[in-house]
Amino acid sequence: MSKLHVSTVVNGDPVEFLADPAMTLLDVLRDELNLTGSKEGCGSGDCGACSVIVDDRLVCSCLMLAAEAEGRRVATIEGLAQGGQLHPLQQKFLEHAALQCGFCTPGLLMASKALLDVNPDPTETEVRYWLAGNLCRCTGYDKVVRAVMDAAAELRQERV
Amino acid sequence: MSDVLDKPAGSPALKIVGSRPIRPDGADKVTGRAAFGADFNMPGQLVGRVLRSPHAHARIVSIDTRKARALPGVKAVITGADFPDVASEMHDGGESASNLRDLAMNVMARTKALYNGHAVAAVAAVSAAVAEAALALIEVTYEVLPHVIDVEAAMAPDAPVLHPHMFTEGLDAKPTTPSNIAKRNRLGRGDPDQAFAEADVVFEGRYTTQAVHQGYIEPHACVASWAEDGQCEVWSSSQGQFMVRTYCAKVLGLETSSIRVTPAEIGGGFGGKTTVYLEPLALALSRQSGHPVKMVMTRDEVFRATGPTSGAVILVKFGARSDGTIIAADVELKCQAGAFAGSPVGAASMTALACYDIANFSITGWDVVTNSPKVAAYRAPGAPIAAFGVESALDDLAHKLEMDPIALREKNAVRDGVKAAYGPKFTNIGFLETLAAIRDSDHYSAPLGRNQGRGVAAGFWFNVGGESTAAVHVGEDGSVAVVTGSPDIGGSRASMAMMAAETLEIPLDRVRPRIADTASIGFSMLTGGSRTTFATGMAVVQAAEKVVADLKRRAALIWEVAEDQVDWAGGAAHCLDPGKDVGPLTLGDIAAKAATTGGPITAQVSLNAQGAGPGFGVHVCDVEVDPETGHVTVLRYTAAQDVGKAIHPAYVEGQVQGGVAQGVGWALNEEYIFDGEGRMENAGFLDYRVPVASDLPMIDAILVEVANPRHPFGAKGVGEVPIVPPLAAVANAVRGAIGVRMTDLPLSPPKIRAVLDARDG
């Protein structure tokens, strides 16, 4: 089967690639574009380690075909820090020790970013339900939830 | 070592140890830079895939690989015939031992497939699609055999036998027929029969658990290269690069020096990455194809072919006086080993009564092979299983005696000087302090609402030391590299750097911790057994002390004074000779003159650390049971643990919180479910449900610090204890909420509904 030519935007930059029609966005990010920050933990949309933001929507990149990225904007973990500065979520994850092995962390950060984009002042329960699609086996989520709440507070402060 | 013992643990003089700095590898981990097992690639690499047995138990009559080999793009096809025979030999991995022949046969089946998921062949091809097409072209003829998975069914005399050469070890007389019971082990003291006869109160119970998986989010992954000169390179995610090297060498018949293993970042292990599955296959495929081979498991493969820990049956009987003194105990444990001998029943037996000082007891453990994946270590292997039975029974005993559950445990708790049930005499333990921390917590006395219950349970883990190497290299500008052979599974780089900076008395940001490949640092056992901060940390501190001694010697040379006229403080040498009018020499000053004072400043220490302090945890858990659905919600959780000294308290809390979350999953959700053919029915994260963020409350960790005098800063292992108490803590809380004892994990809604229906008629 011939490959599809796809034009998209990844982390603000125009990107073109050729994709097998069956390839997932995650496969292309990792294997074609060398953006290995998005992880594959299950390949079935259950663990969230491959979370990216497409246009303004949080998606599991393992469940999206690469060809579907045509004409869209894709944001991955590699674009979260800007100009050498960590995003407040990244900084708060570090300050709160909200990671141990770090494998689920890119997905958790992108999911948290998507949450704060739509809800700048989430309750603990809202954070927990929003992140319920991102499995972390190391932390028990306690410090993750605290880090997200703290980053939300800081981002609200920045807006004032 | 004696000089570091003079430093009292918890001393206010500590500047870095005990603080909460950002971890040295933090930026890499939050930006996607950190390279895990599947993130590494080599030029010209092929994709490797494994063909796995669809049957739980089958004789492999023949394997025809000709069609697969003929497929364009296929570069190698291997089966059991491509591996040498490996002699039966135990290899001590530190926390647990493995039989190398079994390991080799688990990596690739030979004459029999012993579980659904057992590897029977593997291919390497130019793409994943070609590799998968090739798997479909391999023709395996199986003779399907009866299978057995339930542990008690496997022990029955008429059970299908997995290994015709297996005769039960540890019986009074050698059996005349083979069976699935690999081993019986026994521990005991006093005269339990007599003591039970004298007891005022006797309680006994039977408890069961199902196999559960470690559930690390990163699937196993590696890249391997076998060059034309026989030199091998492996990049893989594991708990020990030296473990990978040893096992690959043994399975493939190589010298260890021919294999260099570079550790990738590891995306969780919890014991499940203390063995090899893919690495020897990737090497064999690379040898045959002449190309590097990359292999990554799917989640389905992770569930079917790796981990889990045992499903088990636990029988517990306690005899007590009316004042709560337990005078007799009898514990019997039956643990699934999976396809090859080696369940954690030994550790389960040794830990079962380790929290309590009981004059008369007997413990019997049975190691039983079953047609399921060979069990792998899982965080305090065996201990949560034993504690589920023992701590559930203790809770019921407390009810029977009308005693507070903590008071009952305090009455019988081990303390310094008591001989542990598993042998040695306890010293510097903090079990009573940990019980008191929960007893005195706000949580323990908080009111409960309708349909709510509170449970308490305790847990124990030995913690281990073992062989480690660390090197400290001082750069010409005075910055420092700390190199170890211990993979960082949850933040140990931070504790290594902190202990080195504390010892050198320099700022933490001048120290960079690194984890080296097997050719670049001395041997180190794998990261497991809660040993790294203790044992590798001890090597780091001793190497840093050697550097300090060397720096003082060099300062003395520069100043032309005796070495005892030099003091090291605040990261600089100070001259004590009043006849010399010299200012201090900083680490950077001395490093800049290294060439004239003897050359590079560096020290390496290899040791076999002894004296890891055992750990105790006490947990209290509140649950609410929904009477409509049978769903259990964990409302509040507090875990106290004696950690000796928390080097980086936030990461110690994280270990406690993570262990609790895994234990809650084990208690409420997680289990391997097999169909009638012995195939796992829930081999994915949708159906094998590990706890998600909305399942859990905040988990309060109380760190009790009873210093371990054998560690430079007083540390004890912390990672494993926290998974031991939760199974019983949750079950005891459910008993409090519904008034009925549940004895079969997981406490899933259908089971609870059935109990409520029976209770309410």
* B30 and A CB contact within 8 Å: yes
What integer pLDDT is reported at residue B91 of this predicted model? 87
Q: Where are the beta strands (DSSP E) in B159-251?
A: 181-189, 201-209, 221-226, 232-236
* Residue B13 pLDDT grade (very low, low, confident, very high; cuts 50, 70, 90): confident
Whole-angstrom distance, CA of residue B526 vs CA of residue B419: 29
From the CA of A39, how many Å to the nearest CA of chain B?
8
pLDDT of residue B759: 87
Question: Nearest CA of chain A to the CA of B26: how many Å?
Answer: 6
CA atoms of B232 and B228, how far apart (whole Å): 9
Query: Which residues in chain A (7-26) have CB-CB distances under 8 A to chain B?
Result: 20
ipTM above 0.95, yes or no: yes
Q: What is the rounded CA–CA span in Å between residue A34 and residue A27?
A: 10
DSSP string, B537-591: HHHHHHHHHHHHHHHHHHHHHHHTS-GGGEEEETTEEEE--TT-----EEHHHHH
Average pLDDT over residues A128-152: 98
d(CA B542, CA B671): 44
**Scanning every residue of chain A, which has its alpha carbon at the shortest distance from the alpha carbon of B697?**
A142
**Which tens digits make up the pLDDT trace of B313-358?**
999 999 999 999 999 999 999 999 999 999 999 999 999 999 999 9
Q: Residue B700 is inside which H or E element, if any? A: strand B699-704
DSSP B440: T
Q: Which of B690, B696, B694, B691 is nearest to B634 (CA)?
A: B696
Is there a contact between B157 and B102 (Cβ–Cβ < 8 Å)? no
What span, in angstroms and rounded, lies between the C-alpha atoms of B527 and B94? 10
Structure token digits, residue B137: 């072209």
3-class secondary-structure state, position B739: coil
Q: What local confidence, expressed as pLDDT, does residue B166 receive?
A: 97
- Joined tokens for residue B584: 């201090």
pLDDT-derived band of residue B11, with 50, 70 and 90 as boundaries?
Answer: low
Structural domains for chain A: 4-79 (3.10.20.30), 88-159 (1.10.150.120)
Between residues B611 and B28, which one has the greater pLDDT?
B28
Per-residue pLDDT at B98 exceeds 90: no
- Assess whether pLDDT exceeds 70 at residue A1: no
State whether A100 and B38 contact (CB < 8 Å). no
- DSSP letter for each residue of chain A: -PPEEEEEEETTEEEEEEE-TT-BHHHIIIIIS--TTS--S-SSSSS-TTEEEETTEEEEGGGSBGGGGTT-EEE-GGGTSBTTB--HHHHHHHHTT--SS-SSHHHHHHHHHHHHHH-SS--HHHHHHHGGGS--SSSTTHHHHHHHHHHHHHHHHHH-
Distance linking the first and last C-alpha atoms of chain A: 54
For the residues B591-613, what does the mean pLDDT come to?
96
Write down the pLDDT at residue B529.
84
Structure tokens at B492: 């140990």
Q: Quick check: A103 contacting B, CB < 8 Å?
A: yes
Return all residues near B613 (Cβ < 8 A) that are at least 6 apart.
Answer: B428, B429, B463, B534, B644, B708, B710, B711, B716, B717
CA distance B588 to B376: 47
Q: Which of residues 636-655 of B touch A (CB under 8 A)?
A: 648, 650-651, 653-655
Question: Mind listing the pLDDT tens digit for each residue in B681-718?
Answer: 999 999 999 999 999 999 999 999 999 999 999 999 99
Whether residue A137 lies within 8 A of chain B, CB to CB, comes out as: yes
Contact B389, B195 (CB under 8 A): no
Q: How many residues are there in chain A?
A: 160
Reduced to 3 states, what is the DSSP secondary structure of residue B410? Answer: helix
The whole-angstrom separation of Cα B178 and Cα B182 is 9
Q: Render pLDDT for B264-279 as a digit per residue (tens, 0 to 9).
A: 999 999 999 999 999 9
Whether the predicted pLDDT of B118 surpasses 70: yes
A141 in contact with B, Cβ within 8 Å? yes
pLDDT computed for residue B3 by the predictor = 37
DSSP code for B21:
P
- Mutation to test the B interface, candidates A74, A103, A134, most B Cβ within 10 Å: A103
Which of B692, B700, B702 would you mutate first to test chain A, the one with the most A CBs within 10 A?
Answer: B692
Cross-chain CB nearest to B692 (options A135, A138, A143): A135
Residues with Cβ within 8 Å of B655's Cβ and at least 6 positions away in sequence, in order, are A100, B490, B718, B719, B722
Residue in the block written with tokens 């259950």: A46
pLDDT-based confidence at residue B5 (cuts at 50, 70, 90): very low
**CA pair distance B459, A145, nearest whole angstrom:** 27
Which residues on chain A are in Cβ contact (under 8 Å) with B217?
39, 41, 47, 49, 101, 103-104, 135-137
Distance from chain centroid for Cα B34: 22
Rounded to a whole number of angstroms, the distance from the CA of B184 to the nearest CA of chain A is 33
**Residue holding tokens 């574009």?**
A33
- DSSP label at residue B535: I
Rounded Cα distance, B726 and B638, in Å: 10
Render pLDDT for B633-683 as a digit per residue (tens, 0 to 9): 999 999 999 999 999 999 999 999 999 999 999 999 999 999 999 999 999
- Dist. CA A57–CA A74, nearest whole Å: 9
Query: Over chain A, what is the mean pLDDT?
Result: 97
A55/chain B closest Cα distance in angstroms: 20
Nearest-angstrom CA–CA distance, B145 and B161? 10
- Please name the residues between 234 and 293 in chain B that touch chain A, using a CB distance below 8 Å: 265-270
Specify burial of residue B211 (Cβ count, 10 A radius: 0-12, 13-18, 19+): buried
Q: Are B186 and B294 in contact (CB under 8 A)?
A: no
> Is residue B571 within 8 Å of residue B505, measured between CB atoms?
yes
Residue B491 forms contact with A (CB below 8 Å): yes
C-alpha–C-alpha distance, residues B550 and B537, integer Å:
20
Residue A140 falls in which region: left (phi positive, over 0), alpha (psi -120 to 50) or beta = left
Q: Which CATH class is domain B466-609?
A: alpha beta
Is the Cβ of A82 closer than 8 Å to some Cβ of chain B? no
Restricting to B residues 434-463, those with a Cβ less than 8 Å away from any Cβ of A are none
- List, for residues B157-190, the tens digit of each pLDDT value: 999 999 999 999 999 999 999 999 999 999 999 9
Q: Per-residue pLDDT tens for A4-24?
A: 999 999 999 999 999 999 999
Nearest-CB residue to A100 (from B31, B654, B662): B654
- Torsion from C-alpha of B285, B281, B268, B635, nearest 10 degrees: 120
| CA–CA distance, B467 with B534 (Å, rounded to integer) | 11
Nearest CA in chain A to B684: A42
Distance between CA atoms of residues B758 and B761, nearest Å: 5
Q: Do A141 and B32 touch (CB under 8 A)?
A: no
Verify whether the Cβ–Cβ distance A100 to B34 is below 8 Å.
no
Whether residue B6 is predicted with pLDDT greater than 80 in this model: the reply is no
B482 - beta bridge partners?
B472, B513
Q: What is the pLDDT of residue B12?
A: 53
The answer to whether the CB of A20 falls within 8 A of the CB of A83 is no
pLDDT tens digits for range B734-760? 999 999 999 999 999 999 999 999 988
Contact B342, B182 (CB under 8 A): yes
pLDDT value at position A80? 98
For residues B272 and A138, is the Cβ–Cβ distance under 8 A?
no
Residue B732: both structure tokens together: 């005891």
Q: Are B171 and B178 in contact (CB under 8 A)?
A: no
Q: Does A35 touch chain B (CB under 8 A)?
A: yes
Question: Given the DSSP bridges, would you call strands B293-296 and B46-52 parallel, antiparallel or unpaired?
Answer: parallel
Query: Is the pLDDT reported for residue B298 higher than 90?
Result: yes
pTM attached to this predicted model: 0.97
Number of residues written out for chain B: 761
Name the pairing type of β-strands B480-484 and B511-515: parallel
CA–CA dist B597, B581 (Å, integer):
20
Both tokens assigned to B588: 């950077």
Interatomic CA distance for residues B75 and B46, integer angstroms:
8
CA distances in angstroms from A86 to A29, A57, A91, B215, listed in the order given: 21, 22, 6, 30
Is the preceding peptide bond at B263 cis, omega within 30 degrees of 0?
no
Residue with tokens 């770090």: A102
Q: Which chain B residues have a beta carbon less than 8 Å from that of A47?
A: 217, 299, 685
C-alpha distances (whole Å) from B34 to each of A39, A105, B346, B663 are 11, 11, 37, 28
Nearest-angstrom CA–CA distance, B339 and B115 = 7
Distance from the A147 Cα atom to the nearest Cα atom in chain B, whole angstroms = 12
Percent of chain B exceeding pLDDT 70 equals: 98
Chain A nearest CA to B522, separation (Å):
24
Mean pLDDT of A66-76: 98
Nearest to B616 by CA among B355, B421, B326, B350: B355
CA closest to A36 among chain B residues: B39
B396-443 pLDDT tens trace: 999 999 999 999 999 999 999 999 999 999 999 999 999 999 999 999
